[in-house]
Amino acid sequence: MIRKVLFILLFFPVMAFAQINTDRVMTIARNALYFEDYVLSIQYFNQVISAKPYLYEPYFFRGIAKLNLDDFQGSEHDCTEAINRNPFVVACYQVRGLARIRQQNYDGAISDYEKALEYEPENVGLWHNMALCKMHKEDYDSAQEDLEKLKNLAPRHTAAYLMSADVSLRQKDTLRAERNIDKALEIDPYDGDVWSAKAILHLQQSKYKDAETDLNKAIHLASKNANNYINRALARYHQNNLRGAMSDYDLALEIDPSNFLGHYNRGLLRAQVGDDNRAIEDFNFVIEMEPDNMMAIFNRGVLLDQTGDYKGAIKDFSTVIDEYPNFLTGYHYRAAARRKIGDVKGADADEFKLLQAQIDRQNGVNNKKTADTSGDKTRKKSDKNMNNYRKIVVADNANDEQRYKSEYRGKVQDRNVKVELQPMYALTYYEKTSDVKRTINYYRGIDDLNHDSLFHNRLIITNREAPLTEKQVSEHFASVDEYTLLLTKEPDNAKLRFLRGMDFYLTQDFPSAVEDFTRAILADDLFFPAYFNRALVRYKQLEYKKNEARMSREAGATVVLSDEVKAVDYEMVKNDLNKVIELAPDFAFAYYNRGNIYSQLSDYHAAIADYDKALSLNPNFAEAYYNRGLTLIFLGNNKQGIADLSKAGELGLFSAYNIIKRFSDVK
């Protein structure tokens, strides 16, 4: 989600460090930041700050890492330290402004943007963010003034018209909002955000069919925006298309696994169609996110009761009743559950409470309204009326929460929607979890290593690598020291070299990892895992270098010839994979990775041949179907490519359906 904007921020001149070690640590730290290993990058930036506390760069980049870890106060502090050391770097004010926004310090953020605009008065992102801050402050007139300046500065900046439409809606000026959205569509009818904005307007007008049509176009153009699926699910729900809504929540959660609305509403819909156990999973997730969410706890209690976990249900009902002692539905459900476990006394007490409430209503005592009688099928997230527990949740302000949450310019994430291959496979110890795709990749040769007494951590074959936690960072730094000591006694032990190389790889020290994998190969030229991971590390080094050179050009810097990445640079990667295939001809992941390299080099026919071989070895290889499908589309064979993508989706890669929509006609 991140790399383009990150490199814009990363490309600032780094001073030539007197100590080569400091220079090396800074490079490793920025590399870790680029690959979104934020905890690890902070450890390296700490070392640079300790050695040279007068530099602004390590504070600035550490501030970016903290921002991504939601440590907004820490990010603000680091950016302040960077500004104290060099007050002329616009990006420092930009990132500090973002950190202040996340703390709802809009005045502080505006102050940062005003200062940055003194140095770059034509910076579109700064004007954009400042207008958003004023919108959050409900200073709508001033926000519109800034947006008019932004339109004059960048007349084709569609986001300015969308934001102006949003402000107009908040001012109850629907006609002006429509004019702004229409103008944005006139400028760029291929901007998914514009269609999303039009859909939100139609949702607010209860034009659900029109909203769904708009969102189909938005998804066609911006398939990795989870909020588009959340909103389309809402439009479909209002048209009683529950299965379609549930499918959209699945897709949204594949993109954004922590999306509150996705989990809560999918849980409600799963409960409605009788998928109780998976509904419980969704509410478990919501409750983990918000332990005091009483509606989620009550819904889970109802589901636990239906699945026979009466004690768990009673516990949930009691939690809600303790918080809302006048919530009579809670007593009704708890009484029934208590009877099921033979707690007659407890059930009688609950039923007496219900009877007493009924008598009170008849006598006009405590007869205030508690139930919702509006007939609405949805409720706002801030609604605490427990009688609305079965209603679909919408954000308190759809525009604010769903569209602008990630709209601030300069946030270190890549918002450009790309049609790109599934990532390379690696041998590692850590893997990101997926609610949808839970395949365990097996290969006999790797399993044999996992039973070797030297391998304390289990090797995993995955293309969903997880960043390290702070504890894991410490463990792998310590592990490097341990293996270094062992290698003084056995310098030619290939497995020890490989294991230390793994530690270097996981801590983003790629040059040291390549060196150890190479030494492992020299010690045992039949040890294919060393070739496999050396190919991966070399590939990552090239990708980092290529993106750095590209972003340097965009920043106006001169890129020397040695910084350019050429096709010949990928030969070493290919050669390593060729050797893996020679040594382990049934290792499907080597063919898959080599197919990715061929596709990267636009040798699509060779790539397809490798994906074919990978699929012949593993007919359920979802990523190989996905990448072969994309490669076929690159060759113009959309029909066969879509068939492969469909198979990938069937095997659990739901993002394949996004690509199918992009390369199919939108109905």
**Cα–Cα distance measured from residue 416 to residue 339, given in angstroms and rounded to the nearest whole number:** 56
- Mean of pLDDT values over 264-285: 92
Q: What is the pLDDT of residues 382-418, one digit of tens each?
A: 888 888 888 888 876 644 433 443 344 443 323 333 5
561 exposure class (CB count in 10 Å sphere: 0-12, 13-18, 19+): exposed
Among 487, 485, 479, CA closest to 519:
487
Q: In sequence order, what are the residues at sequence separation of 6 or more whose Cβ sits closer than 8 angstroms to the Cβ of residue 467?
A: 35, 36, 37, 38, 39, 40, 430
What are residue 465's DSSP bridge partners? 431
**In terms of DSSP bridges, do strands 426-428 and 460-462 run parallel, antiparallel, or are they unpaired?**
antiparallel
Q: What is the pLDDT of residues 37-70, one digit of tens each?
A: 888 888 899 999 999 999 999 999 999 989 888 8
**Cα–Cα distance measured from residue 263 to residue 265, given in angstroms and rounded to the nearest whole number:** 6
Whether residue 7 is predicted with pLDDT greater than 70 in this model: the reply is: no
More confident: 211 or 393: 211
**Cα–Cα distance measured from residue 658 to residue 251, given in angstroms and rounded to the nearest whole number:** 9
Pull the structure tokens for residue 207. 């034009």
Give the DSSP per-residue string, 454-472: T--SPPEEESSBPPPPHHH
More confident: 113 or 655: 113
Q: Give the pLDDT score at 215.
A: 93
**Contact (CB, 8 A) for 581 and 590:** yes
Number of domains in the chain: 2
Q: Which residue has the tokens 């394949």?
A: 656
The answer as to whether 203 is a domain residue is no
The answer as to whether 61 is a domain residue is yes
Predicted confidence band of residue 651 (pLDDT cuts 50, 70, 90): confident
The answer as to whether 255 is a domain residue is no
3-class DSSP state of 380: strand
DSSP H helical ranges for 222-343: 226-238, 242-255, 260-272, 276-289, 294-306, 310-323, 328-340
More confident: 648 or 584: 584
Q: Give the pLDDT score at 647.
A: 87
Q: Give the pLDDT score at 437.
A: 54
Q: What is the pLDDT of residues 430-459, one digit of tens each?
A: 998 765 555 788 999 999 999 999 999 999
Among 434, 420, 437, 433, CA closest to 649:
437
Q: Give the pLDDT score at 648.
A: 86
Q: What is the pLDDT of residues 58-108, one digit of tens each?
A: 999 999 989 888 888 889 999 999 999 999 999 999 999 999 998 899 999
What is the domain-level CATH number for residue 460?
A: 1.25.40.10
- Any idea what DSSP says for residue 451? T
Q: Give the pLDDT score at 369.
A: 47
Q: Give the pLDDT score at 16.
A: 39
| Of the residues 121, 144, 161, the one at which a domain ends | 121
More confident: 492 or 21: 492
The answer as to whether 263 is a domain residue is no
Angle at 178 between CA 176 and CA 182, to 5 degrees: 120
The answer as to whether 311 is a domain residue is no
**Contact (CB, 8 A) for 34 and 544:** yes
170 exposure class (CB count in 10 Å sphere: 0-12, 13-18, 19+): middle
**Cα–Cα distance measured from residue 402 to residue 70, given in angstroms and rounded to the nearest whole number:** 18
| % of the chain residues with pLDDT over 70 | 87
| Of the residues 95, 121, 147, the one at which a domain ends | 121
The answer as to whether 358 is a domain residue is no
Q: What is the pLDDT of residues 534-566, one digit of tens each?
A: 999 999 999 888 877 766 655 545 545 455 667
Q: Give the pLDDT score at 568.
A: 82
| Of the residues 105, 121, 137, the one at which a domain ends | 121
Which of 212-216, 370-374, 533-537 is predicted with the least confidence, judged by mean pLDDT?
370-374
- Mean of pLDDT values over 190-209: 89
Q: Give the pLDDT score at 295.
A: 93
More confident: 15 or 657: 657
Q: Give the pLDDT score at 114.
A: 94
HEC string of 501-512 equals HHHHHHCCCHHH
Pull the structure tokens for residue 598. 């061929």
Q: Please, what sign has the CA dihedral across residues 500, 501, 505, 510?
A: positive
| % of the chain residues with pLDDT over 90 | 57
Q: In sequence order, what are the residues at sequence separation of 6 or more whose Cβ sits closer than 8 angstroms to the Cβ of residue 16?
A: 23
Integer CA distances (angstroms), 474 to 44, 468, 540, in order: 12, 10, 23
3-class DSSP state of 217: helix
Whether residue 503 is predicted with pLDDT greater than 60 in this model: the reply is: yes
**Cα–Cα distance measured from residue 35 to residue 505, given in angstroms and rounded to the nearest whole number:** 12
Fill in the amino acid letter for 573: V
**Contact (CB, 8 A) for 381 and 397:** no
Cβ atoms within 10 Å, residue 438: 8
Q: Give the pLDDT score at 397.
A: 60
Q: Give the pLDDT score at 18.
A: 41
Q: Give the pLDDT score at 543.
A: 87
- Any idea what DSSP says for residue 440? P
Q: What is the mean pLDDT of the chain?
A: 86
3-class DSSP state of 428: strand
Whether residue 311 is predicted with pLDDT greater than 90 in this model: the reply is: yes
- Mean of pLDDT values over 581-610: 95
**Cα–Cα distance measured from residue 414 to residue 8, given in angstroms and rounded to the nearest whole number:** 11
Q: Give the pLDDT score at 661.
A: 66
Q: Give the pLDDT score at 395.
A: 78
Q: Give the pLDDT score at 652.
A: 77
Q: Please, what sign has the CA dihedral across residues 601, 602, 604, 606?
A: negative
What are residue 378's DSSP bridge partners? 392
The answer as to whether 502 is a domain residue is no
- Mean of pLDDT values over 197-214: 90
**Contact (CB, 8 A) for 533 and 523:** no
Predicted confidence band of residue 212 (pLDDT cuts 50, 70, 90): very high
Pull the structure tokens for residue 145. 């003034």
Which of 15-29, 478-492, 564-578, 606-620 is predicted with the least confidence, judged by mean pLDDT?
15-29
3-class DSSP state of 649: helix
Predicted confidence band of residue 110 (pLDDT cuts 50, 70, 90): very high
More confident: 393 or 310: 310
Q: Give the pLDDT score at 205.
A: 85
Fill in the amino acid letter for 426: A
Q: Domain span at residue 16?
A: 1-121
Q: Give the pLDDT score at 398.
A: 44
Rg (CA), the chain: 28
Q: Give the pLDDT score at 3.
A: 43
Whether residue 527 is predicted with pLDDT greater than 80 in this model: the reply is: yes
Largest CA distance in the chain: 91
The answer as to whether 413 is a domain residue is no
